[in-house]
């Protein structure tokens, strides 16, 4: 009998193993991805591997999943048509008058180029006027010194005012100075005399941000005045970092070849080494991307940032990534126990230069410099001659093209005459003093020797290193690539020009421009799918492209990326060469759908596609305006003259300025039920930047409304684009349908709002409400998804509503251009997208109503979108105390299902894309929505956990069911619980399950470009932008009632309360575990996520006091006088006993241990059962955290948008690329207030040791490392003793989001 049992067990095990083997079979390995002719799964067919299964065997607990999917599709279509009003809106557009127009892309491009040319002409005129004024003032200075000072560091905050465009406090009444400490008394300082000129320019051209003059003596005149307290290191440090690269690039615009050698031998004291490192960093920050740089650490041997054939053998372009990497290397240098081998260091520096300079017989006049930073102490008396011999040999080989600057780092009170003399001889290349023969007869170019004993005045010492090049400055403007302004953390670009007197350089003048203003014609160009504009410079670097964030949302250093990375279709290289070489032109080429960037998602058209590129150079600038169209029809229709039906239906959203008769609060949003409200985004205006920069007034709004209501067309246009009026008039006609549906709908308890948006920037919403000015509906997830699936009912994954509704899901649908007597198809032009927000739990309610079997304990039903994010799932609606529910991926919610379906690569594919905003490679999933059969493991799969999944027709979502009859499920999808880094960035297999994650974009430092393996990836679509709740004074809202009363306390059962807007079924106590004795329905702020008193993501949780929506306690009989007396006597007695005990024990308190109550022995942790978890409090919980501080705050080259982890209020949920934790318990995790596990310096070191051990690859440093590490730390610094709350609390004012690399629980916030 025992033998029979063993045989049975072996048989079962064999069947199980065979099932696992079968899991690896795809549907069809020989056909192309998602080819509908090869892989369409016909109705009533079920597939597992290559096998077709009898439909009668495929019923799960009596459910035909495809039948249920069709029922769900019917319900969703009904919601779309009836609740959103899609059929009504389509009918409105079909009835509108239209006109046919000939497309003229060339004319559009010429207009963009013309606008850019006019704009830059104004800026160049400003620059020229400032230059002439400085040169004129210097002539007066020679007769009467102009040297009056106004130190920026001495300006108090009371003299400044906060200006939104600067993101900081400034004063446009004066010009202030950043002054070197050792400046001479009568040095030229024209700042006071420039103020009037600066003021006039800022008045004429408000889009100019900063104007400045930097003298050769190091004085910086800054307008508007600012005290630079926000700069890292305070105001004094601003002198050494602000515009230093702009100054050097303008004064010496030629490409510079520089090797920096830093002495780290045993002769240096700690202070001297600190000074040496500071000098190296300063010189690195002074150089720009056009320069070629190498760096060496020197003791008894030379060490490099990375010991390979690139960084140790040649100079590399100083890209932003290389600059940070080199700076990290400098920071990592430490004192060695060996003397300095001066000859070796100089020899290695010469070798790097020889490998990088043009051949000697070429026509170029390249020069190079060695910056030698050392104490200059010799180990032997003959070493000096050896050093000079080395210089003579090596510099002779390059015909004395190398200049040597030496910096003697000296200690206070030390005599260093001999060392300084030695370093001076090196700078002079004084071969004669040491009887060394020259190897080349040409003249030697002498360098400088400077003795430096502090880092306080580098601009006047090390900052003058460029003079040794002895090149004449070129008297023409210089344009920089976009960069982040250190004062306002926004994106700017600089135009600068040198100033002269009798051919002698006086300094440079410069203006900083808002990139948002410069590129607005490109950023807000046609918002439709098949056409977009981009801007590049004459070297191919991308200034603006649809894949990049709008400048208004760019708060971190962009990656300067060649256009071929965005337009990476095969054959574009030849087009790029033509664009860079020709004044104007056009080219047509075949493109793949996977390699096309669309502003709002790819069009629903088959492949192949043809793209047409048009370009035109912008005169007097290095910029080229480009236009790309994809299979665009030559003739298209536009709305004709649409008449406004009723002025009452046109209410602008600024209810705080022009209120309606019945203003109310729609959750946290100032709103109204009287009508829908109109919002115009920046793209609706002719000058979007001016609109965003100028506060709206009541008079301005009255001008908008009057113009839009004017059917006579006699009122002047207040600055809107011409086609906006017709769009406003057309979408306003849906207002009556929305109000009628609101009055009759049975789903009002679950609906949050309805809205519609056009590509032109017209947005209408009901209930009406105020919207933040920076909002752009065309950049939202619901809009992009609808454009990706035109004609479909499209759902987004859950996200947190910024207006206070909690977690919501959006249904959206496209509207096509009008066709009065024709059927619409997905190839029609989309003219609008409609949407509606439901509470997240409503969709689980809808799922259960469709399939009542989902209520069973061993059955789980779920709905997921086309990227694998769960929309409805039991775990999304379970009561919980902490943890977000959005961005829950199928790999996290159902790992068994995920492991199985990944073997069917015709159903789901892993994909890669490069995100150049955040320097990451994103890994994500894409599901085939054309699936018409059922995918299942019923026949071959896990014996006690079976699933089915099928698409819901006409949507972007799938429905699935899991029947689990046992608890032993071994499937697992690894995910990082600390950040979004993939666990193995060097491997990605289709069949390996992992959560969506990211890896760093690795740079080839030798070329300054991406590694070849990363260069082949398409660019990621632009992330949906963050949004925030518009701020309204509380004095306007405190007295207002809620527009819609949820009446949570009247819901007596869980079924009645489930999914109702702003209501939660309260069933757990504050600890999130103990059930309440009396479950009840309460407002979210009272019982968020079903836990009494839980913190809300809005930070508005109620104290545990009787609330409006809390159950009303039953009244009790008053206590009688006798009982009252007894109770009073008891209380007096208890108080006396307490006082006595307190007095007795008071003197013993100082004997108590200072160890915290939470101190636990490791043995206790090792032996503690898994199911015994302590109650979570703020400041306790899981300790998988890394809280780092950084010396150099800058952006991580691969950090994801910070809204992923710690969003601002209204922050974005990016449903495309979000990371899930691998265990359910991680959702409940919180961080503790502990010391950082890894300091900022240690975490981001390039890993170079003084012994020469280096990493083999650019960041991530080691090929063998488990995960990639960023070479650049996050931008926001976190104090070492910062406690992270269990949930992210959204304050009333919107802070900049923080980068936290920790296992924190976060809520993503979003709206529409």
How long, in residues, is the chain? 1312
Please give the Cα distance from 551 to 543 (Å, whole number): 10
| Rounded Cα distance, 305 and 1247, in Å | 8
Question: Does residue 946 sit in helix, strand or coil?
Answer: strand
**Cis? peptide before 916, omega within 30° of 0:** no
> Residue 441 class from Cβ within 10 Å (0-12 exposed, 13-18 middle, 19+ buried)?
exposed
Which of 502, 427, 521, 494 is closest to 465 using CA atoms? 427
Q: How far apart are CA 965 and CA 857, in angstroms?
A: 10
Residues contacting 804, CB < 8 A, separation 6+: 667, 668, 669, 1062, 1098
CB environment 768-802: b (16+ within 10 A), e (fewer): bbbbbbbbbbbbbbbbbbbbbbbbbbbbbbbbbbb
Residue 165 DSSP symbol: G
Both ends of the chain: CA-CA distance in Å? 66
Distance between CA atoms of 796 and 812, rounded to whole angstroms?
Answer: 8
DSSP 1147: G
**CA–CA separation, 796 and 781 (whole Å):** 7
Sign of CA dihedral 728, 730, 736, 737: negative
Contact 571, 590 (CB under 8 A): yes
Give residue 14's pLDDT: 43
Tokens of 736: 């009556």
- At 361 the pLDDT is 59
DSSP 1088: G
Distance CA 587, CA 562 (A): 19
The pLDDT, as a whole number, for residue 15 is 39
The pLDDT score that the predictor gives to residue 1248 is 41
Q: Which residues of 184-222 are buried (b: 16+ CB within 10 A; e: fewer)?
A: eeebbbbbbbbbebbbebbeebebbbbbbbbbbbbbbbb
- Report the alpha-carbon distance of residue 453 to residue 377 in Å, rounded: 15
**Which residues does residue 176 pair with via DSSP β-bridges, in sequence order?**
222
Contact 855, 877 (CB under 8 A): no
pTM attached to this predicted model: 0.80
DSSP line for 348-414? HHHHHHHTTSPPTTSS----EEEEEEE----SSTTHHHHHHHHHHHHHHHTTT-EEEEEEEE--TT-
How confident is the chain (1312 residues) per 10-residue block, as mean pLDDT?
46 39 33 37 41 53 84 96 96 90 87 96 96 96 93 92 88 93 88 96 92 93 91 79 90 91 94 93 90 95 89 91 92 94 96 86 74 92 92 93 92 72 94 92 90 79 74 87 88 95 93 95 82 94 92 86 88 94 93 54 55 95 94 73 77 95 94 96 94 93 93 91 93 94 95 96 96 94 93 95 94 92 84 96 94 88 95 89 72 89 90 88 92 75 78 95 77 78 88 90 80 78 83 91 93 94 93 91 93 89 52 38 48 46 37 32 33 36 30 34 37 37 36 32 38 38 35 35 34 35 36 48
What does the pLDDT read at residue 321? 86
Per the rule left: phi > 0, alpha: psi between -120 and 50, beta: everything else, 503 is left
Q: Note if the bond before 195 is cis, omega within 30 degrees.
A: no
Task: Give the 3-state secondary structure of residue 499.
Answer: strand
Report the alpha-carbon distance of residue 1083 to residue 563 in Å, rounded: 51
**Token pair of 742 as six digits:** 């609101």
The 10 Å Cβ neighbour count of residue 820 is: 10
Determine the Cα–Cα distance for residues 1251 and 1197; give it in Å rounded to an integer.
28
How far is it, in rounded angstroms, from Cα 180 to Cα 506?
Answer: 16
Helix (H) or strand (E) holding 628: strand 623-630
SS3 (DSSP) at 159: helix
- Does an H or E element contain 564, and which? helix 563-566
Question: For residue 1153, which phi and psi values (nearest 5 degrees)?
Answer: -65, 150
For 330, the enclosing helix (H) or strand (E) is helix 320-332
What's the helix, strand, coil split of the chain in %, to 5? Answer: 30, 20, 50
Measuring CA to CA, which residue among 481, 486, 535, 524 is closest to residue 689?
A: 524
For residue 113, how many C-alpha atoms fall within 13 Å in the half-sphere facing its CB? 24
């Amino acid at each position: 009998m025992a033998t029979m049992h063993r045989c049975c067990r072996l048989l079962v095990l064999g069947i199980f193993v065979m099932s696992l083997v079968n899991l690896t079979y795809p549907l069809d390995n020989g056909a192309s991805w998602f080819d509908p002719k090869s892989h369409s799964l016909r109705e009533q067919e079920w597939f597992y591997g290559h096998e077709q299964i009898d439909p009668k065997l495929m019923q799960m607990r009596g459910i035909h999943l495809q039948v249920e999917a069709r029922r769900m599709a019917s319900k969703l279509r009904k919601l779309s048509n009836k609740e959103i009003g899609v059929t009504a809106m389509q009918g409105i557009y079909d009835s509108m008058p239209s006109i046919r127009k000939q497309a003229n892309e060339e004319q559009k491009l010429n207009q963009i180029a013309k606008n850019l040319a006019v704009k830059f002409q104004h800026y160049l005129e400003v620059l020229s006027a400032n230059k002439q004024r400085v040169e004129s003032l210097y002539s007066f200075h020679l007769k009467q010194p102009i040297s009056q000072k106004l130190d920026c560091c001495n300006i108090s905050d009371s003299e400044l005012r906060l200006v939104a465009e600067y993101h900081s406090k400034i004063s446009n009444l004066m010009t202030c100075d950043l002054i070197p400490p050792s400046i001479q008394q009568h040095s030229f300082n024209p700042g006071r005399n420039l103020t009037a000129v600066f003021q006039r320019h800022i008045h004429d051209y408000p889009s100019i941000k900063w104007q400045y003059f930097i003298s050769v003596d190091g004085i910086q005149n800054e307008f508007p005045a600012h005290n630079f307290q926000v700069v890292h290191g305070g105001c004094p440090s601003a002198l050494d970092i602000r515009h230093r690269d702009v100054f050097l690039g303008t004064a010496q615009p030629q490409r510079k070849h520089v090797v920096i050698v830093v002495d780290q031998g045993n002769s240096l004291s700690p202070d001297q080494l600190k000074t040496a490192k500071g000098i190296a960093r300063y010189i690195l920050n002074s150089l720009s991307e056009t320069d070629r740089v190498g760096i060496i650490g020197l003791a008894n041997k030379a060490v490099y940032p990375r010991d390979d054939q690139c960084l140790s053998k040649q100079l590399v372009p100083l890209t932003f990534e290389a600059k940070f990497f080199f700076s990290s290397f400098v920071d990592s240098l430490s004192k060695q126990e060996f003397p300095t081998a001066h000859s070796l260091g100089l020899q290695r520096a010469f070798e790097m230069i020889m490998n990088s300079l043009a051949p000697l017989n070429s026509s170029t006049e390249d020069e190079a410099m060695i910056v030698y930073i050392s104490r200059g102490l010799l180990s032997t008396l003959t070493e000096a001659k050896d050093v000079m011999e080395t210089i003579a040999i090596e510099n002779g080989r390059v015909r004395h093209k190398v200049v040597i600057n030496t910096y003697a780092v000296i200690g206070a009170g030390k005599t260093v005459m001999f060392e300084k003399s030695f370093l001076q001889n090196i700078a002079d290349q004084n071969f004669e003093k040491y009887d060394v023969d020259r190897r080349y007869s040409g003249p030697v170019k002498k360098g400088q020797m400077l003795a430096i004993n502090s880092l306080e005045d580098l601009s006047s010492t090390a900052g003058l290193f460029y003079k040794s090049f002895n090149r004449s400055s070129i008297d023409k403007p210089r344009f920089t690539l976009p960069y982040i302004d250190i004062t306002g953390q926004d994106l700017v670009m600089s135009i600068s020009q040198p100033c002269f007197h009798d051919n002698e350089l006086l300094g440079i003048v410069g203006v900083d421009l808002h990139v948002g203003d410069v590129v607005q014609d490109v950023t807000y160009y046609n918002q439709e799918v098949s056409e977009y504009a981009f801007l590049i410079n004459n070297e191919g670097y991308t200034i603006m492209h649809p894949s990049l964030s709008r400048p208004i949302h760019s708060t971190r250093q962009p990656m300067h990326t060649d256009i071929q990375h965005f337009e990476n279709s095969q054959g574009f290289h030849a087009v790029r060469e033509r664009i860079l070489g020709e004044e104007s032109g056009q080219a047509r080429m075949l493109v793949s759908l996977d390699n096309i960037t669309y502003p709002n998602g790819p069009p629903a058209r088959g492949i192949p596609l043809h793209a047409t590129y048009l370009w035109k150079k912008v005169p007097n600038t290095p910029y080229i305006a480009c236009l790309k169209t994809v299979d665009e029809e030559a003739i298209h229709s536009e709305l004709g003259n649409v008449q406004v039906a009723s002025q009452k239906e046109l209410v602008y959203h600024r209810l705080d300025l022009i209120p309606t008769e019945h203003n109310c609060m729609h959750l946290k949003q100032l709103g109204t039920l009287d009508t829908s409200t109109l919002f115009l985004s920046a793209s609706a205006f002719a000058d979007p930047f001016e609109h965003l920069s100028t506060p709206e007034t009541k008079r301005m709004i009255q001008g908008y409304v009057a113009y839009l209501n004017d059917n006579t067309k006699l009122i002047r246009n207040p600055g809107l684009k011409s086609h906006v009026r017709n769009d406003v008039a057309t979408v306003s006609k849906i207002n009556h349908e929305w109000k009628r549906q609101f009055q009759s709908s049975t789903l009002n308890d679950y609906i949050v709002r309805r809205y519609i948006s056009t590509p032109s920037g017209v947005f209408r919403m009901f209930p009406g409400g105020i919207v933040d000015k920076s909002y752009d509906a065309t950049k939202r997830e619901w809009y992009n998804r609808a454009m990706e699936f035109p004609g479909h009912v499209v759902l987004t994954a859950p996200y947190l509503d910024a207006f206070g509704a909690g977690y919501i899901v959006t249904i959206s649908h496209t509207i096509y251009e009008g066709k009065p007597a024709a059927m619409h198809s997905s190839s029609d032009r989309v003219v609008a997208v409609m949407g509606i927000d439901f509470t997240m739990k409503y969709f689980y309610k809808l799922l259960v109503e469709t399939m009542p079997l989902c209520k069973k304990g061993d059955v789980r039903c779920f709905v997921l979108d086309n990227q694998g994010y769960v929309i409805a799932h039991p775990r999304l609606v379970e009561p919980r105390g902490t943890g977000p529910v959005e961005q829950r991926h199928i790999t996290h919610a159902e790992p068994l299902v995920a492991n199985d379906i990944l073997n069917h690569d015709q159903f789901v594919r892993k994909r890669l894309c490069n995100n150049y905003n955040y320097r990451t490679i994103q890994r994500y999933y894409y599901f085939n929505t054309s699936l018409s059969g059922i995918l299942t493991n019923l026949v071959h799969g896990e014996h006690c956990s079976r699933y089915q999944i099928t698409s819901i027709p006409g949507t972007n979502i799938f429905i699935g069911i899991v029947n689990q009859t046992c608890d032993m499920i071994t499937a697992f999808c690894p995910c990082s619980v600390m950040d979004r880094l993939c666990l193995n960035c060097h491997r990605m297999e289709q069949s390996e399950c992992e959560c969506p994650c990211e890896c760093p974009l690795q740079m080839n430092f030798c070329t300054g470009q991406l590694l070849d393996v990363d260069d082949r990836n398409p660019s990621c679509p632009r992330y949906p932008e963050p949004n925030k709740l518009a701020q309204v004074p509380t004095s306007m809202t405190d007295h207002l009632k809620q527009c819609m009363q949820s009446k949570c306390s009247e819901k007596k059962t869980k079924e009645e309360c489930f999914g109702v807007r702003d209501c939660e079924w309260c069933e757990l106590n504050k600890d999130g575990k103990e059930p309440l004795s009396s479950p009840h329905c309460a407002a979210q702020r009272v019982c968020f996520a079903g836990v009494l008193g839980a913190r809300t993501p809005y930070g508005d949780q109620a104290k545990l006091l009787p609330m409006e929506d809390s159950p009303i306690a039953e009244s009790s009989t008053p206590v009688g006088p006798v009982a009252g007396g007894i109770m009073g006597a008891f209380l007096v007695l208890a108080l006396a006993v307490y006082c006595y005990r307190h007095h007795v024990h008071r003197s013993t308190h100082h004997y108590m241990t200072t160890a915290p109550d939470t101190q636990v022995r490791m043995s206790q942790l090792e032996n503690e059962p898994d199911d015994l978890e302590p109650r979570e409090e703020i400041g306790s919980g899981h300790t998988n955290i890394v809280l780092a501080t950084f010396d150099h705050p800058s952006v991580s080259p691969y950090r994801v948008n910070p809204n992923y982890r710690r969003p601002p209020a209204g922050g974005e949920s990016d449903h495309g690329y979000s990371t899930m934790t691998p265990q359910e318990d991680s959702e409940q995790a919180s961080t503790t207030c502990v010391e950082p596990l890894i300091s900022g310096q240690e975490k981001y070191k390039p890993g170079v040791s003084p012994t020469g051990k280096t990493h083999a690859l650019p960041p991530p440093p080691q090929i063998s490392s488990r995960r990639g590490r960023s070479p650049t730390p996050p931008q926001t610094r976190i104090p070492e003793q910062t406690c992270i709350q269990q949930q992210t609390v959204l304050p009333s004012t919107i802070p900049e989001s923080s980068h936290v690399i920790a296992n924190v629980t976060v809520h993503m916030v979003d709206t529409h």
